[in-house]
A and B are shown apart, each in its own frame.
Chain A
Amino acid sequence: MPDRTKTYDVLIAGGGNAALCAAITARQAGASVILLESAPRAFRGGNSRHTRNLRAMHDKPNDVLTDAYPEDEYWDDLLRVTGGNTDEALARMTIRASSGVFGWMQANGVRFQPSLTGTLNLGRTNAFFLGGGKALVNAYYVTAERLGIEILYDTEVLSLNLDDGAVRSVDITYRGFPETLHARCVVAASGGFQANLDWMRQNWGDAVDNFVIRGTPYNRGRVLKNLLDQGVASIGDPTQCHAVALDARAPKFDGGITTRLDSVPFSIVVNQLGERFYDEGEDVWPKRYAIWGRLIAQQPEQIAYSICDAKAFPLFMPSVYPAIKADTLAELAAKLKLDPDKVQATVAAYNAAVVPGQSFDNTKLDGNRTKGLTPDKTNWARTIDKPPFYGYPLRPGITFTYLGVRVNERAQVLMENGQPAGNLYASGEIMAGNILGRGYLAGFGMTIGTVFGRIAGQEAARHARN
């Protein structure tokens, strides 16, 4: 039960990594803390429960990271993916702080995996949580409980009531019942709005009905909208989201990592009309997978089909859904509910355009291309002719949204007039757009959440205790 009569030192809106880092830091600084998680206990942790690693700067190898990942390389990577859509001061501060988070994380129960064998080659840049993000979230909740942080599940923050640049009260629903709470400081760590389909519809129209939301259904952006409506400065393009190509059979929400499909560079991708629409071999997959969500979103009915043959099938990670398999292309097209004649014609045209002679190498841009197609496939182009043939249906999968609240280096939320709000801080996805205004960098969301969560917790506790 929340205590209506009490004034908490720090109230945290949200229950994922950024919220927990803020809550634990504030509590360790001596503040009384209440954390409000809108999800039920079983689904606590927001999108953090689907994450796996954290990108960390380091100058020499340590127990969880190989080699070195210096500040400037990290910054260059960020600059490249965002196309400059970032704030250098905040970004560099985050990058530098990322090298010092391990001790704190481990002291608060997070366990890391010693070295990585599978998936992406991220062992140098990213530290992997043992068991993934849900294990990290579990560890933080255990710590939070031990420290005496009051944790409420099924509790949604409806409004942080700002008056004269400070939060005076907080309207919530606790297990469906409305309550009003008071706190000296508030940390907004409640994520983006990608699970709010009505909000998404404003930008994408009815196409959202064919979108898959990869993460939690509880990121509805309620706090974000509430703050922006009250004169908090916004950051990030409100229409943009990180969209990847997913197996179309994925559940609408919470399918997480397993519904991704890495088949595109080794296959051809056709739309519902059986036509190709983009160069599948433009670049290595980790650099291209984030554009395919948007590409598919622009196709009729927001669906596409990846088609390959027996030669290509072993080259990519298994998806959670079995490939649709057939001995002939016509049969495969029929199983995919595509026009068999059209698919056969597309594959025949593609096969005829493949330039033969180069050795195939799936580990680098191998220059095996087609010539004379619109569009051409510029790498890993091999004829599709060895049965059985495999197909996967693809849909756009939304990871997160970019719109957020503007913050300064002390995690204070800024008002439209540029002044920081008196007692309001933000961490995690709700402010990630300050640093990652575009694109995606694996494990960077967790870095931002951890670094800003700790800053927000520290600042909020200090302010509340003064």
Chain B
Amino acid sequence: MRETDALANARREMEICNACRYCEGFCAVFPAMELRREFSAGDLSYLANLCHNCRGCYYACQYAPPHEWGINVPRTFQELRAETYAEYAWPRRFAQLFDRNGTIVSLVTALGIALVLMLAAGLVDPDALYRAHPVVPGSFYAVIPLWAMQATGILTFGFSLIALAMGARNFWRDAGPRERPGPVALGIALWDVLTLKNLGGGGHGCNDASERFSMRRRWLHHAMFYGFFLCFAATCTAFVYGTLFGWEAPYALTSVPVLLGTVGGLLLLVGTVGLFAMKLVDDPMPAARNLLGADVALLMLLALAALTGLVLLALRGTGAMGIALAVHLGVILSLFVALPYSKMVHGVYRTAALLRRATERNMKPLGGE
């Protein structure tokens, strides 16, 4: 991690926090901070990515603005996190995609949709795009050939997975622990990811918009997270059906892929729209406003993925199916492409940071008695 203004400010704040330690009951960040007295760039990157942005520490802080020290850990870490996303991006030259990320993700989405529409119109008989199709196996492929779907999906998603893995490796080299994580640490980190324990403010929830605590953010994120994975599971099931068993989409309403996708899509929609709505009413003080774009763009992209999927399900027997399918696949393509250059990377670095925390769980705080 390079020495930047955001990093210097994070170090200043951590040195003050480390002399106070009142917030140690909120989340993993403060116990992790207490293990050291000096903060390397890698340490700060680790702590910033460990922060789940619950804002408990901001409202509890006796040094928060307008105090002359102006301690605002959620905002400071958010600013630093954004820099770490660029820092660890792979390939390196794509780092600048994290500047004005909201615009870029939106553009990718627009281009993705347009591209698939044009390809659909170009690859098959344009008439197929507008014709009403019966809901029978293979009807989707009359609009977009299976090979095109599979090739594009595998290529883009495959590249994204590699890019995410390389990012994780870059983070781990810069901000990972000295020890190798054991199986117990892996288990703890996984549990923390799946439960979002650190969005619990020590068991009482987050300060979503004010001094009041609530579990809203945590539940909405859960809806989004599990909704996303149910959708992903639906896609994987469909892929297996198609390639291994030769069962072609679309599937019946009671089939596994449709059930998973419908429940997942609804959850994803609720989570993303809810989290977006929260941004409208949030206290702006503990948030880095200039990073709002990246947040909102990803939320909207995920919401679109869910929404277009559900629309496709509703319209698949009508003349609008062709366009609905192309738009949905365009959104999915955009998601696959944008994945390693969107706020989605926070999941990778957060998980890695939690793994480091779990690896260091038995270390003793420095100073004090």
Contacts and interface: CB of A to CB of B under 8 A. Distances in A.
Contact of A130 (B64, B204, B211, B365): B204
A43 B62 CA distance: 8
A113 interface: yes
Which of A42, A121, A258 has the most CB atoms of chain B within a 10 A radius of its CB?
Answer: A258
A318 B20 contact: no
Contacts of B211: 138-139, 141-142
B175 to A, nearest CB: 21
A118 B34 contact: yes
B24 interface: yes
B168 to A, nearest CB: 30
Contact of A317 (B19, B65, B202): B19
A131 B15 contact: no
Contacts of A256: 20, 62-63
A320 B16 contact: yes
Given A118-B34, A120-B368, A257 B20 contact: yes
A363 B24 CA distance: 23
Which of B23, B26, B368, B369 has the most CB atoms of chain A within a 10 A radius of its CB?
Answer: B369
B204 to A, nearest CB: 5
Nearest to A129: B22
The 4 closest A-B pairs by CB, nearest first: A131-B60, A132-B22, A113-B25, A317-B367
A118 B16 contact: no
Given A42-B66, A257-B19, A258-B19, A118 B365 contact: yes
B212 interface: yes
B37 A318 contact: yes
Contacts of B59: 131, 134-135, 138
A72 to B, nearest CB: 25
A130 B19 contact: no
Interface residues of A, number: 38
A134 B58 CA distance: 10
Given A111-B204, A131-B56, A50 B62 contact: yes
A251 interface: yes
Interface string A309-346: 00000101111101000000000000000000000000
A318 B19 contact: yes
A121 B369 contact: yes
Contacts of A134: 59-62
Contact of B202 (A49, A111, A142): A111
Contact of B15 (A113, A254, A318): A318
Given A132-B60, A142-B212, A316 B367 contact: yes
A320 B25 contact: no
Contacts of A402: none
A133 B19 contact: no
Contacts of B15: 318, 320, 322
A314 B38 CA distance: 11
A132 B26 CA distance: 11
Contacts of A114: 25, 202
A69 interface: no
Interface of A: 42-43, 49-50, 52, 111, 113-114, 117-121, 128, 130-135, 138-139, 141-142, 251, 254, 256-259, 314, 316-320, 322, 363
Contacts, number: 104
Given A131-B56, A318-B19, A363 B369 contact: yes
B34 A131 contact: no
A358 to B, nearest CB: 21
B5 interface: no
Contact of A257 (B22, B56, B60): B22
24 contacts: A43-B66, A111-B204, A113-B25, A117-B24, A117-B31, A117-B34, A118-B365, A119-B368, A119-B369, A120-B368, A121-B369, A130-B25, A130-B202, A131-B22, A131-B59, A132-B62, A135-B59, A138-B60, A254-B68, A257-B19, A257-B20, A259-B19, A318-B18, A318-B19
A119 B63 CA distance: 19
A118 B367 contact: yes
A130 B201 CA distance: 9
B368 A317 contact: yes
Nearest to B212: A142
Contacts of B18: 318
Interface in B148-201: 201
Contacts of A254: 62, 67-68
A111 B61 CA distance: 15
A117 B62 contact: no
A interface secondary structure, majority:
loop
A118 B368 contact: yes
B21 interface: yes
B367 A258 contact: no
A118 B20 CA distance: 10
A314 to B, nearest CB: 7
Which of A43, A114, A256, A316 has the most CB atoms of chain B within a 10 A radius of its CB?
Answer: A256
Contacts of B64: 42
Interface of B: 15-16, 18-26, 31, 34, 37, 56-57, 59-68, 201-202, 204, 211-213, 365-369
Given A117-B24, A257-B22, A317-B367, 20 more contacts: A42-B65, A52-B22, A117-B31, A117-B34, A118-B367, A120-B369, A130-B204, A131-B26, A134-B59, A134-B61, A134-B62, A142-B212, A251-B68, A258-B63, A259-B19, A318-B15, A318-B37, A318-B366, A320-B15, A320-B20
Contacts of A320: 15-16, 19-20
A119 B25 contact: no
Contacts of A139: 211
A138 B366 CA distance: 30
Contacts of B367: 118, 314, 316-318
Given A130-B204, A131-B56, A113 B63 contact: no
A395 B367 CA distance: 22
A315 B259 CA distance: 60
A49 B24 contact: no
Nearest to B20: A258
Contacts of A117: 24, 31, 34, 365
Nearest to A146: B212
A128 B21 CA distance: 12
A118 B33 CA distance: 11
Which of A50, A130, A322 has the most CB atoms of chain B within a 10 A radius of its CB?
Answer: A130
A136 to B, nearest CB: 9
Contacts of A50: 62
A16 to B, nearest CB: 13
Contact of B25 (A120, A131, A141): A131
Given A138-B59, A254-B67, A119 B202 contact: no
Contact of A119 (B21, B61, B62, B204): B21
Contacts of A142: 211-212
A342 B62 CA distance: 40
Nearest to A115: B25
A131 B61 CA distance: 8
A217 B286 CA distance: 25
B20 A128 contact: no
Nearest to A119: B368
Which of A111, A139, A141 has the most CB atoms of chain B within a 10 A radius of its CB?
Answer: A111
Nearest to A260: B19
B29 to A, nearest CB: 13
Given A52-B22, A316-B367, A318-B367, A135 B60 contact: yes
Given A114-B25, A128-B25, A133 B62 contact: yes
Which of B22, B25, B366 has the most CB atoms of chain A within a 10 A radius of its CB?
Answer: B22
B186 to A, nearest CB: 24
